[in-house]
């Protein structure tokens, strides 16, 4: 199921599946309406197109030619937009951009209307010889309505693309996906935890474990522990999941360690390898760190001399602050728990708060040394994180935020160009100290 979900994500985030469905719908609509016209006979359908075959062909040909031109324009705009997003923001945001459902459906509608007109055009016949004139009046009338719809959709498409490439909307979309991943992965405790004393180090006494490695290099997109229910494992088997979603792996990387080692044969290794889904690119659904990484990348690129857009960096910092504040109250501990009727004891590695915190702000802080406004925004964000951690009763995480704040503030103060900038940075750092102290 994990593999199927991953493939489904690959399909739906491409530019062919939903446009293809819309195109197929256009073809089906053409066939259905033509059959209705055939059934109506020479009397036709009331209030429908009443021109002759030549007029019908002219209308259908004009609409088909116009819509395929519009479709080419739409896909050209999409390609240019993808290049802009990749070069100015981050290539890692393309997967989210390609998955925008309204844009997919509108692009498919242009091709669908073109296909519809072609299929209706092929059945229009003049009177002469042994043939009887046939003009599918209802189908031609519908083509006119679809042409008007296509013009409206062109305006909608241009507006949608213009909105999608705004950094505020890109950051908001990534932040929403990351927040959903945080809620899904680090929400309420499932209440079925095993004794925390059963950590992997205590399992070594059971002998050498069986090692499960991937069949291909890539990135861990997801880990599906439900797959352990399908694997043939003895009662009380212990499984250590050594990788986390987002980790880069090679064919030599150990994905799983299983005790007892002699209970896993070649077939069992193949089954267990499916627990960890390795793909060529990361996805945010189980990898909240990937969403944080995308926002940090956009901020860092905005601070580069070639872009020089600190305001965009401030936008990303604001969303990162919200996400990390939510993480400050999450249970991120990698504790053993049981899976399935076999009561298999599993210990899955997880990212700790310190790692996620530094993933979000450390690199931005290094690039923001020459811009006191951005550096102060990072320090204020860390103050908010420290305050949230203290409120959640996790002072250790507040100390992590304070440590990173001091690491960022020192070089920023040294490179400050004016005394006022130094005072702003000192005030921001003081707020982090105050927040960490409760």
Q: Is residue 170 part of a domain?
A: no
Angle between helices 167-185 and 137-164 (to 10 degrees): 90
Q: Is residue 296 part of a domain?
A: yes
Instruction: Name the more confident of 396 and 370.
Output: 396
d(CA 317, CA 371): 14
Which of 106, 140, 165 terminates a domain? The answer is: 165
Q: Is residue 393 part of a domain?
A: yes
Same structural domain for residues 295 and 149?
Answer: no
Same structural domain for residues 289 and 427?
Answer: yes
Q: Quick check: 189 pLDDT over 50?
A: no
Q: What is the pLDDT of residues 7-28, one digit of tens each?
A: 777 777 777 889 999 999 999 9
Q: Is residue 137 part of a domain?
A: yes
Which of 126, 145, 165 terminates a domain? The answer is: 165
Instruction: Name the more confident of 130 and 87.
Output: 87
Q: Is residue 176 part of a domain?
A: no
Residues whose CB is less than 8 angstroms from the CB of residue 190 and which lie 6 or more positions away in sequence, other chains included: 337
Which of 114, 131, 165 terminates a domain? The answer is: 165
Q: Quick check: 197 pLDDT over 60?
A: no
Once rounded to an integer, what is the mean pLDDT over residues 114-141? 86
Residue 300's domain comprises: 284-332+351-436
Q: Chain-wide mean pLDDT for the chain?
A: 86
Strand order in the sheet with 248-249: 248-249, 218-223, 276-279
Q: Is residue 161 part of a domain?
A: yes
Q: What is the pLDDT of residues 89-105, one digit of tens each?
A: 888 777 777 778 888 89
| Confidence band of 127 (pLDDT split at 50, 70, 90) | low
- pLDDT of res. 186: 65
Same structural domain for residues 154 and 295?
Answer: no
Q: Quick check: 342 pLDDT over 60?
A: no
Q: Is residue 21 part of a domain?
A: yes
Best-predicted range by mean pLDDT (33-42, 87-96, 135-144):
135-144
Closest CA to 96 of 275, 281, 257: 281
- pLDDT of res. 85: 82
Closest CA to 284 of 256, 335, 255, 323: 323
Query: What's CA 400's distance to the chain center, in Å?
Result: 28
- pLDDT of res. 245: 92
Same structural domain for residues 293 and 161?
Answer: no
d(CA 8, CA 36): 36
Q: Is residue 154 part of a domain?
A: yes
- pLDDT of res. 187: 53
**Rounded percentage of the chain residues whose pLDDT exceeds 90:** 50
Residue carrying the six token digits 């479709």? 71
Contacts of 29-36 with CB under 8 Å at 24 or more apart are 29/116, 29/142, 30/115, 30/116, 30/117, 30/119, 30/120, 30/139, 31/119, 33/120, 33/136, 33/138, 33/139, 33/142, 34/119, 34/120, 34/123, 34/136, 34/139, 36/138, 36/139
Q: Quick check: 357 pLDDT over 90?
A: yes
d(CA 283, CA 94): 11
- pLDDT of res. 190: 44
Domain tally for the chain?
A: 2
Closest CA to 372 of 308, 406, 419: 419
- pLDDT of res. 77: 87
Kindly tell me the sign of the dihedral angle through the C-alpha atoms of 397, 399, 405, 408: negative
């Amino acid at each position: 199921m994990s593999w199927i979900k991953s493939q489904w994500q690959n399909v739906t985030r491409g530019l062919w599946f939903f446009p293809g469905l819309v195109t197929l719908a256009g073809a089906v609509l053409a066939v259905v309406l033509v059959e209705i016209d055939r059934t109506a006979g020479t009397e036709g359908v009331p209030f429908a197109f009443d021109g002759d075959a030549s007029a019908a062909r002219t209308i259908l040909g004009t609409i088909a030619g116009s819509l395929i031109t519009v479709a080419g324009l739409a896909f050209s705009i999409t390609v240019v937009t993808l290049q802009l997003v990749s070069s100015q923001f981050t290539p890692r945001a393309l997967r989210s951009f390609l998955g925008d459902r309204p844009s997919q459906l509108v692009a498919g509608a242009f091709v669908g209307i073109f296909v519809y007109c072609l299929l209706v055009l092929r059945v229009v016949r003049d009177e002469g010889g042994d043939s009887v004139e046939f003009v599918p009046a209802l189908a031609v009338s519908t083509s006119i309505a679809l042409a008007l719809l296509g013009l409206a959709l062109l305006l909608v498409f241009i507006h949608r693309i213009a909105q999608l490439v705004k950094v505020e909307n890109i950051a908001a979309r990534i932040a929403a996906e990351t927040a959903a991943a945080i809620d899904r992965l680090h929400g309420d405790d499932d209440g079925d935890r095993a004794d925390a004393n059963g950590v992997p180090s205590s399992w070594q006494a059971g002998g050498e474990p069986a090692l499960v490695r991937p069949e291909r290099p890539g990135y861990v997109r997801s880990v599906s522990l439900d797959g352990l229910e399908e694997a043939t494992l003895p009662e009380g088997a212990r499984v250590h999941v050594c990788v986390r979603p987002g980790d880069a792996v090679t064919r030599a990387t150990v994905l799983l360690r299983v005790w007892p080692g002699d209970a896993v044969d070649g077939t069992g290794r193949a089954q267990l390898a499916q627990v960890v889904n390795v793909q060529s690119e990361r996805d945010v659904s189980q990898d909240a760190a990937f969403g944080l990484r995308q926002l940090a990348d956009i901020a860092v690129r905005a601070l580069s001399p070639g872009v020089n857009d600190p305001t965009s960096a401030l936008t990303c910092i604001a969303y990162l602050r919200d996400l990390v504040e939510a993480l400050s109250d999450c249970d991120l501990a990698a504790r053993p728990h049981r899976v399935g009727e076999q009561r298999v004891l599993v210990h899955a590695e997880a990212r700790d708060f310190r790692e996620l915190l530094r993933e979000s702000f450390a690199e931005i802080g290094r690039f923001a040394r020459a811009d006191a406004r951005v550096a102060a925004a990072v320090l204020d964000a860390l103050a908010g994180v420290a305050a949230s951690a203290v409120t959640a009763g996790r002072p250790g995480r507040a100390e992590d935020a304070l440590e990173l704040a001091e690491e960022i503030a020192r070089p920023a103060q040294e490179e400050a160009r004016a005394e006022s900038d130094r005072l702003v940075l000192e005030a921001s750092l003081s707020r982090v100290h105050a927040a960490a102290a409760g």
